A and B are shown apart, each in its own frame.
Chain A
Amino acid sequence: MADKTNVPRLNMRYGLIYTSSEVGRKIKEIKIPELNQKYFILRAESLQGENLLEFAGSQMPVMAKDAVMYEEEPIVAVIAPDYESAAIARREIAIETGEEEISEEASLYQEDYGWGNIEDFRLGWKETIKREKPAESVIKEEEKEEKAAEADEEKSGEGEEKEDTEKEEVAAEEEKTEEEEEVIIHEYKKVSTTFSLDPIKYTSFTFFSATCWSEGSSLHVMVPTQYPKLVADTVARVTGFDRRKIIIHTSQYSETSDEYLFYPAIIASITASASLSMKCPVEIKTRAINRRGAIKTKRITYLNNDLRPIAEEVVHTLDIGAYQMLEREVERHAMTGIIPSYPLQAFKASIKIEKSFNFPSFIYSSMGYSEALAATEYHSSVLAKEIGMSPYEFRLWALKDKRKFTDYLPATQMGDIKRLLTDIAMKSSFSRKWSSNDLGRSNPSLLGYTKGIGIAAGTGIAGFSTSFVTEHEYQAKLTYTQRGAIVVDTSAYSRGTAVNFWKKILKEELELPSEDSVLFSNNDHSTIDSGPKILSRFICSFSKQLQTNARKLKSLKETEKLPIAITFDVENRFFPCEFDESAYAAMAIEVMLPETSFSPKVKEVWAEYSVGLIADSAILTSSIKQLILRTLIECGMEIDSSLRINISFVRRDAEGIASVVSVTKAIVISSLSSALEQAIGKRVTLPISAEDILHLRRKGDEN
C-alpha cells in the first residue's frame, strides 16, 4: 500500500517529458514554442544542482544536455497548468540534431575467467608414432599451425549448431633420430553454438507520476520507487536541496521488471527541480519503462573420444545500453551463469559489456545471471543432440555428483538437480516426445503443426555478489526492546509478503509469543540504508541474514540486559564465493507451432523445485506461475486457455531461504529455446514472433 499522504493540489502544475528518437546524435537546437507565463520549460541547463544520477558508484546524467543517448532520455520537461496543455505544448517542441552519429568508444568492459589451458584443446591432442623410416612428406610446424588456425576460424565463423568436423590429421616431423618418431595431432571434436537474445523493447501502458511540493523548509517527493534512498540522494544532488530535509513518500507500484528502480529517481529529481523553480507543487507523469539489451553467447566445447566435454570456451556479450552502470556486478552475475555444471579440464570465459544507444538496462529482474544460465543450458541441449543423446540423458550422463568449486559458486550438489530432471522427464514423457517430435517435423503439412519439447535445469542465486557487498554496505538494525518486542530498522520496503515472512522467521527464532511483537521502523529512510528492492535480495539474502542475526540476538539476550541492538549486513559479506546457491530447479516446456498461423503456442510446462524453507507453497506456486507466464510472454509466446503449468516442490535437507526468480527465468528461456528449435528445425532468437518464424522457414526453403 502507498503512503497515505495528502498531496496539496492547490496551485499544482502538471508536466510531461519530451524525448527524441534521434539517438546517438548531438543536440544542435531545441525549438520551444512561444508559451505564456503559465508554462515552464525545464532543461538540463536549468537544473539547480548536478545533472547526475549515481547508483553504487556508477553515474549517468538525469537529462540530456549535449547529446541524445537513448530514446527515453528526458530532454525537456514541459510544465503547464494541466496535462492537456502540457501534451499539446510538448507536440510543438522540435529538436535539431547533428547528422552524424556520435562515435562511441568501441568498448567496453571485458573480464576473463577460467581454469586449465584452453590452448591445449584448441590445438588438439598429440599422438607419437615410432617409425623405422623417416616420413617423406614433411609439413613444417608453421604450416601445421596455419592449417589448424584456418580450420578453427572456419568453424567458429559459422557459429551454428553443428560443426561436426572430421578429424584432421596433421603430421609433423618432430625430431630426426635413427628410429623416427612421428607426431600426429588429432583435433578434438568440437561443438559450437551461438545463443542470442534480442533486446526487449516492450513498453507497458502503465504510467506513474512523481509529485513534489514544499512544506516549511522540507521538500516532499512522492513517487513509486524500489529504492527510496536513491530518489532522495538524486533529488538532493540535482536540486542542491539539503538532503536531510527531503522526505520521500513511496506510492503504490507493481514492478514486473524493475522499472521502478532508477527511472523514478530521474523523474522525481526533474519534478523537484521544476517545483523549486516554480515555487509550487508539480506533478510529472510518464510511462514506467525498463529494457533488456541484446545478449549473445558464443561457445565452443571440445569433446574427447568418448564424446565427453573436456574443455570449453565462451564469449558472452551483453549490451547494457547508453551508460555503463554496475558493469562489474553485471559481469559477475553473467560469469556465474556462464560456467557449466559438467566437469571440464579447461574452461575459458570472456564477458564483454557493450555500450549502445539504448535505454540503460543493467537490471531487468536479473543482472545477467538468468540469461547466461539460459545460454549454458541451451548449449547442453545442443551438445546432447550433437552426440546423439536426448538433452535429458545427456545431463544425467555428463553431470557429476558435485559441481566444481569456482570463485562464483560453491561445489553444488548435482545429485539434487539430477533427481529433479528425472522427475520432470518422467512427468512430461520427455524422451518419447523428444523422439516423436523430431519425426513429426519431417512432415508438418500432414499434421498441420509441428511440436517441440525442451528441458533445462539449474541453480538459483539472489542478491548482489560478495565482492559488491564488501564495497557497498547495505545494513539493517535489529533491536530487542525492554518490553520484549523486536524492532527492525531498515529502509527496505517493509510491506507485503516479504515482511510476513520476516516476522515469521523472527517469531520462530526468538520464540516470540506472536508475530505482532515484531515492528518495522522505516520512518526515516536516511537512518539505515538497506539498498534497493531488487534481485530477490530481501526475500533471500536479507531473510538469511535476519535468521542468523536473530540467533545472535537470542544468545546475547541470555548474557546482556535489554535493550540490545545489533546492526548487520543485508547480505553476507564473508561468503567464500561470489554467490550462494539458493534453489535448484528443472523444467520442461512443450510448444506447438500451427502451420496455419505460425504463432507458437505453449502447450504445457512442468517444473520442479528443490528448496529448503517453504513459507506457503500455494503462494509460492502462484508466484512461480506468474513468473513463468511473464517470461513466456517476454519471449513472444502466445498464451491461450489450453496452457497447463504443473509445479511441484521437493524439500531439501537445508533450512536455507530460497529465491526461485533467477533460476525460473533462466530455465524458461532455455527450455523454450530448445523446444522452439525442435519445432521449427532452426536456431531461434528470442523474443520470437510469427514473422520471425516465417522468415526462418523461408530461409530453410531457399536453402
Chain B
Amino acid sequence: MKFSRSSDLPFHFSRRNFMHVGLLGGLGLSLGDFLQMKAEGAQKLYKSMEGPAKNVIHIYLPGGMAHQESWDPKPYAPLEYRGPFGSIKTKIPGVQFSENFQESAKIADKLTICRSMTHGEAAHDRGTHNMFTGYKPSPAIKFPSFGSVVSHELGSRKNLPPYVCIPRVPNEFAGSGYLSSSFGPFSVGSDPAKKEFEVRDLSLPKNISDHRFADRKNLLKMVDAHFRSKENSDGLDAMDKFYKDAYSLINSKEAKEAFDLSKENQKVKERYGKNEAGLRMLLARRLVESGVRFVSLTYGGWDHHQNIETGFSQQAPQLDKAFATLISDLDERGMLDSTLVILSSEFGRTPKINKDNGRDHYPRVFSVALAGGGITRGNIYGSSDAFATAPEDNPLSVEDLASTIYDRIGIVADKELMAPGGRPMEIVDGGKVIKEICA
C-alpha cells in the first residue's frame, strides 16, 4: 500500500489514531463527546472579581479632541504645528500641558497621561467604536461596550443599574453588542445641566403609595402567569430582567437619590461648574458613590476642522475645571484609588494647522488621560514625536488600553464571551496589560 499524499489523511493513518479511539472507548466516551469537551475546554473562562477599580467614570469627548491643544503640547514646534495656544508647567516636573488645562495641570500629580495612543481609524464612527469597545469595527459582529461587559461580568450593586450613560446613550457602540440587551446602558435621559433635570419615572406616581405599588406588582404577576407558563423567548426574559431591575430601583430610596442632584450643595456644584461639564461629572461622582459601576458621560463637540482656537476657548475651561474638580473631589473622599477615571476621544488631530485654522482627524497618535482606580499617579506613558505625528516610544494600542482598563476593573481581557452562533469571542482580542501605568 502506498499513499500518494499524506495531507489527504484527516487522521494520520497510523496506530496513533486507533490508540486515541481506543483510549476514549475505555473512558466510555465517543469521539463526538471528546471533541465537544475539547471545544468547551477551549473557551477561555475566568471568574471576574472586583479589582482596584471598583468604579469607572468614562468621560468621552466626541469629535476627536486635539492632543496638541490639551495633554501633549509641542511648544518648540513651528507655529503651524504648535497651534494657537501656549504651554504651562504642571505638577509633574518637566511635563507641560496646553494652557487650556490650567486646573488639570495643578493636579497632574494624580493623573497618568498616555501620549502614545494609536489606531488606524480616521472616521468618527470607526474611531468611536474602537474607544468604546476595544475592538476594530467588524461588519459581521457587534461588540459590547466596556460598560456592558462590566455589567455582564460584575452585575449590579446596591439596587442600581451597573452601567449608566449621562445624559443619554452617546452612540451605537455604547450598547451591549452581541451580549443580551439586558446588559445595555441605562440612559439618564436628561441633561443634569438643565434646570428641570430629573430622571424620569424613578419615583412612583404621586397617588400611588408603596403599599399600593406592592399590590400592583402582585397583580402584574397574576396577569403574567398564564402567558409566562405557555411562552418562552429571549425577549420575554430580557423584559423580566428589566422589570426586576426597575423594582429594585423604585424600592430603594438610596438608589433613587443617587440620581438626585438637588441633594448636592451649591458650593459643590459651583466647584464643579454649573454647566454641562461640571454637572455631568458631579452626577457621575454621585452615581459611582452610590453603587453604579460604570458611568459613561460625554461633553462638547471637538471636531475642530475650523478655527480650533475658538473651539477650545469655548469648551476647554469648563472641561478643565470639572475634570480637575472631579479628580480632587474623589481623592478627598478617599474614592480616587477605587475609581478609574478615563478621559478619551475617538482620535487626535493632524499635526499641522490646516487652511481653516483647524486640525483634521488623526488617529496615528493622540492622548488619553487616566486617573485613580489602580492607575499610577503623576505618570506620563509613551510619547509622540517632535511634531506629534507618530508615537515615539511605547505606542499604546486600543487593545492594550482596553486590556489594562479591564485588568484594573478585575476582568481578564482574554476571557471569552459567547457571541451568537456559539462563537466564543475574547473580551479583547490580543493586547497586553501595561504594567508601567498600573499602581
Instruction: Answer whether A and B are interacting partners.
Output: no
A residues at B contact (CB < 8 Å):
none
